[in-house]
Amino acid sequence: MKTVKKVESNIVFNVIAKGILIILAAVILIPVWNVVVMSFSSSTALAEGNSYFWPAEFSLENYQAVLRDDAIIPSFMVSVAKTVIGVVTHVFFCSLVAYGMSKRYLKGRKIYTAFFVITMFFSGGMIPTYLLMKSLNLINSFWIYIIPAMFSYYDMIILMNFFRNVPDSLEESVTIDGGGPWTIFFRLILPLSKPALATIALFNGVGQWNDFFTAKLYISDKSLYPLQMKLYAIIVQQEFSSMQNVPGSVVLQTSSRGMQLATIVVTTVPIIIVYPMLQKYFVGGIMLGAVKE
């Protein structure tokens, strides 16, 4: 009898859990689908507001307008370059520091930890940071996207905990074979840490790809604008046009809105393509530290 009740309770729980997950998925996916649908709708359909789950009047004019913009392709290349370089340098430096900090015999380890923890809770603020970047000659430089984002103590902690799970016997065997610390790091630690590295790479990559605030603060050279800054410019243009009482302003607003939606889709697609490639590592890496044996 108890077994039957337990099975029935499990069935009820599964039904409720699946129902909640379906509702949450719908809440997330329906707005995304609506953005995609409206991006493929004509200006007339957007003005009439008839496109909800399918384009009332299918059109590629929004994407054509986006791709005709001479700044789109350079902005896209800047976004790709800063994301790829930023992820590689971030993962490398975080893993390098994490490997050293994972060794309990490291001299001054507690002092380093204290310094790192302070940076998690305190910062100089926007103006002092700007003055620092200016003194480093990073204003209007591509490296403003890379150098300040090279290290994160939070990501270093994740990698450090993962490195501690690597058996010391493996490192000892490499040492016996004549390998030094760099050989151990590149030939042993990094290959065994793919789930952790992929997790950090995914989080940092999404952050780098979506970041526009760095460009807004430190970049005035439009040739260094990322794609997200271009999207921000389109949004500002739309808000400005909505305040102008000029003939044809409704058409201008809907056209600008269509370009905005098309740009959102263009900026989102690369992340959607990359995520499945890292998903198998991400699932394993996200559970780091969840179970302690």
Radius of gyration of the chain (CA): 25
Residue 165 included in any domain: yes
| One domain, residues 212 and 260 | yes
Q: What is the DSSP letter of 185?
A: I
CATH number at residue 87: 1.10.3720.10
Question: Hey, is 111 helix, strand or coil?
Answer: helix
Average pLDDT, the chain: 81
Which residue from 290, 146, 145, 274 is spatially nearest to 198, judged by alpha carbons? 274
Q: Which residue range is the domain that position 146 belongs to? A: 70-285
Domain membership of residue 293 (yes or no) is no
Under the banding of pLDDT at 50, 70 and 90, the label for residue 106 is confident
Cα end-to-end distance, the chain, whole Å? 35
99 and 178 share one domain: yes
86 part of a folded domain: yes
For residue 80, what are the contacts with CB-CB under 8 A and spacing of at least 6? 270
Assigned domain for 106 exists: yes
Q: How confident is the model at residue 292 (pLDDT cuts 50, 70, 90)?
A: very low
Which tokens sit at 18? 């699946």
Q: Of 62, 78, 104, which residue constitutes the final position of a domain?
A: 62
- Asked if 16 and 46 sit in the same domain, the reply is yes
pLDDT at 115 over 50: yes
Residue 135 sits in the same domain as residue 185: yes
Beta strands in 83-218 (DSSP E): none
pLDDT in tens, 24-36: 988 988 888 888 8
Share of the chain above pLDDT 70, in %: 83
| pLDDT tens per residue, range 10-23 | 788 888 988 999 99
**Pair 58, 145 in one domain:** no
pTM over 0.75: yes
Flag whether 97 is in a domain. Answer: yes
Over the stretch 134-178, which tens digit does the pLDDT of each residue have? 999 999 999 999 999 999 888 898 898 888 888 888 888 888 878
Does 52 lie in the same domain as 74?
no
* Residue 248 falls inside a structural domain: yes
Q: What is the pLDDT of residues 180-207, one digit of tens each?
A: 888 888 888 888 888 888 888 888 988 8
Same domain, 78 and 175: yes
> Backbone phi, then psi, for 72, in 5-degree steps?
-65, -50
Total count of domains within the chain: 2
- Which of 34-43, 115-124, 162-171, 234-243 shows the lowest mean pLDDT across its residues? 234-243
Q: Are residues 120 and 216 in the same domain?
A: yes
Same domain for 156 and 115: yes
Q: State the amino acid at position 44 in one-letter form.
A: T
Same domain, 29 and 171: no
